[in-house]
Amino acid sequence: MSEGSELNVYRILSAVFGVLGLAIMVKVILARPFEYAVGESFIMDELTLPTPFYTFHFKPITLFTILGFLYWTLGLEGFRNYFVKFPRVVKRLIIIFLATAAFVMMYEFIQNFFMWTSFYIMYGGDLDKLYHQINPAMPKPVNFNFISKMFAMFFAGSLYGLHFFMRMEKATNNVIKG
SS (H, E, C) the chain: CCHHHHHHHHHHHHHHHHHHHHHHHHHHHHHCCCCCCECCHHHHCCEEEECCCCEEEECHHHHHHHHHHHHHHHHHHHCHHHHHCCCHHHHHHHHHHHHHHHHHHHHHHHHHHHHHHHHHHHHCCCHHHCEECCCCCCCCCEEHHHHHHHHHHHHHHHHHHHHHHHHHHHHHHHHHHC
Domain that holds residue 76: 3-177
Number of domains in the chain: 1
Whole-number CA gyration radius for the chain: 19
Q: Hey, what amino acid is at 78?
A: G
The pLDDT tens digits along the chain (178 residues) read 787 889 999 999 999 999 999 999 999 999 888 888 888 899 988 888 888 999 988 999 999 999 999 999 999 999 999 999 999 999 999 999 999 999 999 999 888 888 888 878 887 777 777 777 767 777 888 888 888 899 999 999 999 999 999 999 888 776 666 5
Residue 37: which of 114, 123, 134, 154 has the closest Cα? Answer: 134
Residue 38: which of 61, 17, 19, 55 has the closest Cα? Answer: 61
